[in-house]
Chain A
Amino acid sequence: MTVPPTVAEITDKAFDRVFRAEYARVVGIATRVLGDRSKAEDVAQDAFLALHSRHCSEQAWAGGWVCAAAAHAALNVLRADRRRSRREQLAASAAETIDPAVAAEQADDGRILRAALARLPQRAATVLVLRHSGLSYAAVATAMGVKQGAVGTMVRRAESALRKEVGRAASQ
C-alpha cells in the first residue's frame, strides 16, 4: 500500500521547489542592491529562512514574497552599512570574473547606485530593484501589495528619482 505523504513532506517539497525556482533571482536582487555576492547570498539565505519559518511555500505568492523580502532586507543592510562606514562593497568574487577595466568602471557605477538607493524612499528603491531584476508588472504588484495598474507609475517615478539622486551626487 502506498503511504500518502505527510503535510511536512508536501510543505518541504513546495519549499524546495520555490527555492530552486527563485534562488538565482533572489541572489540577483540582493546583489544589485549590495554589490557583494557573499552578502547577497547571506541575505538570500535569511529571506528563504523567513519564508520557511512564516509561510506555506505552496502559496502562489511565495516566490514574489521572498523576492520582496530579499529586496527589503538588502536595502536595510545597505543603509546599515552606510551608517557604519563608507567602505567599498564590491564583491571580490565579482571582480574576479570580469575584465579589470570593466570592473573599475562598474565599481564606480556600483558606488553611485548604492548611494542613490540608500537615499531613495524604501518603496521606490524596492520597486526599482524588483522590476530591473526581471519581475513582471504582475509579480511586482503582488510583491509590493499594490494594484498592477499602479506599477508603471511607481517604476516611472522611481526611475526619475534615481536619475535625480545620481545627478545630485555627481554634482557634489
Chain B
Amino acid sequence: MRHLSDGALRRVHDDRFAGSNREREHLDRCDRCRQRARGVAADATFAATLLARPEAATASTDAALARLRQRITEGAQAGRALTTPPRVAVRRWAIGAVVVPVVAAGLVVSANAAGWLSIFSPTQVAPVALTVGDLSGLPDLSGYGHMHLSNVEPREVAGAAQAAAATGLKALRPVLPADVPTAVRWEVIGNGSATFTFDAATADAAAVRAGRAAPAIPAGLNGTTVTVTAGPAMVALYGGSSAASSDPLTSTPTLVIAESVRPAASTNGATLQQLEDFLVAQPGVSAQLAAEIRAIGNASSTLPIPVIAGLMTSQTISIDGVQGVVTGDSTGLGSAVIWEKNGVVYAVGGLLSQNEVLDIARSLR
C-alpha cells in the first residue's frame, strides 16, 4: 500500500489505534514511514510543550457569568448590545430588511397599469452602517399594521442542472481552496414576497396592549400596502451533510454560494416621500441611521447591506466589473461578498477569510 499521509501519521501519534489495520501494519514494517512518524512525534511534542500552560486557578465561572449578564443588561440599556432573544432578533432583522430598502428608496421610478408604484429595483449594492442599538431599536412593524410573508421553503434538488432549470439562473462553479470540501448540495427557493399594510386600527390596538401612545399614521398612509418580492434563487452548499442529518454539527457548510433574482418593492397608495418621512421619524431610527440611508445616493436602485458596527467589518470592492461589498465577522471567523449584476444578486460566504471568499467569488464561472 501507499505510505501513510502526514495527517494519518499525526492522528496515529495521538491515538495509536487510529487508522485502518492495513495502515498500522504498513507502519510496523515501513522504515520510511516510521522515520517520518518520529519527525511528526518530535514536532507534536515540541508544540505540546510550548502550548502547555499551568492552569492557574480560574476565576469563578459563576462570577464570570454574572459579569457577562451584567454587560448584556448594561448593553441593552445603553443600546450597545443585542439582547433580544433570537426569535425576536430574527424578526427584527426581517423587519430591518424591509424597512431599510423601503426607507432607502427615495424615488418613484415607474408605475404600472394596475396602479402599483415600483419604488425599489436595485442594480447595485452598498454598505449601510448600523449600530447594535439601531438594530435592536428598529420599529416593530407588527405594531403598525398587518404583515404577510409567503412561504419560501428551500427545496433540495439533485444537481446544478436541476437548480438552473428550476430558477432560470446559471449555476456557477467556483475554484475551491484545498481545505474547502468539494461535496456540494443544491437548493432552490421559489418566488417569495412580503406584504405590509399600514392600519391605524391595528396601531391603536397594539399601543393599548403595550400601554403607550399610538403612533400617528398619516391619513395618506393608512391602508397603503408595500410589497417586496425576491427570487427565485439557488444556493450551493459546500461541506456539511444534508439538512436531514441528525447531527447539526456536521450539517454546517464551509462555503455557501447563492444567486437570486434581485428584490423589488412597490406600493399601491402613499408616495415614497410619505413612507420615508414616516419611517425615518419613528423612535428607534437614529439620526445617524437616517443620514446613512439618505447618503446612499441613488437609493431606489441600491440594495443596502446592513453592517453592524463593532461586530462586522465591510468595504466596497470591484468584482466582475461592478461594485460589491465584502463583509466580515470582526473575530475573523467568517466572511461574505455580495454584488449585483444584470438583475441577479450574488453572495459568497463561509467560515473563510475575506481574501478567500473574494478569490472564490472571482473564480465563479
Partner-B contacts on A (CB < 8 A): 6-8, 11-12, 16, 19-20, 23-24, 27-28, 31-32, 35, 37, 41, 44-45, 47-50, 52-56, 59-61, 64-65, 68-69, 72-73, 75-76, 91, 93-94, 96-98, 102, 106, 109, 112-113, 116, 122-123, 128-129, 132-133, 137-138, 142, 144-147, 149-160, 162-163, 166
Contacts and interface: CB of A to CB of B under 8 A. Distances in A.
15 contacts: A7-B85, A24-B61, A31-B53, A37-B56, A97-B56, A98-B56, A113-B50, A132-B52, A150-B7, A153-B6, A155-B7, A156-B7, A156-B40, A162-B47, A166-B50
Interface stretch (B188-196, B248-256, B260-268, B292-300): B248-256
Nearest to B19: A152
A159 B44 contact: yes
Interface residues of B, number: 59
A37 B58 CA distance: 8
A157 B6 contact: yes
Contacts of B64: 19, 23, 41, 44-45
B71 A45 contact: yes
Nearest to B48: A132
Give the 4 A-B CB pairs with smallest separation, nearest first: A145-B351, A152-B7, A153-B7, A132-B51
A98 to B, nearest CB: 5
A64 B73 CA distance: 25
B252 to A, nearest CB: 6
A32 B137 CA distance: 38
Contacts of B248: 59-61
Given A50-B311, A59-B248, A145 B331 contact: no
B81 interface: yes
A54 B332 CA distance: 14
Interface string B346-365: 00001111000000000000
Interface in B42-96: 43-44, 46-59, 61, 64-65, 67-68, 71-72, 75, 81-83, 85-88
A163 B46 CA distance: 7
Contacts of B311: 50, 53-54
A32 B53 contact: yes
A57 to B, nearest CB: 9
Interface of B: 5-11, 14, 40, 43-44, 46-59, 61, 64-65, 67-68, 71-72, 75, 81-83, 85-88, 132, 179-181, 239, 247-250, 252, 254, 311, 331-333, 350-353
A6 B85 CA distance: 10
A49 B46 contact: no
A116 B46 CA distance: 13
A140 B54 CA distance: 22
B59 A41 contact: yes
Given A128-B47, A159-B43, A61 B6 contact: no
A126 B59 CA distance: 24
B45 to A, nearest CB: 9
B332 A122 contact: yes
A73 B331 CA distance: 5
Nearest to B52: A132
A150 B5 CA distance: 11
Contact of B71 (A49, A129, A150): A49
A94 B54 CA distance: 8
B72 A52 contact: yes
Contact of B65 (A20, A65, A151): A20
B56 A91 contact: yes
Contact of A97 (B51, B57, B132, B332): B57
Contact of A160 (B5, B43, B59): B43
A153 to B, nearest CB: 3
Given A19-B61, A50-B311, A53-B82, A61 B249 contact: yes
B6 A152 contact: yes
Pick from B50, B181, B254, B332 the residue with the most CB of A within 10 Å. B50
A93 B57 CA distance: 9
A21 to B, nearest CB: 10
Contact of B50 (A6, A49, A109, A158): A109
B48 A145 contact: no
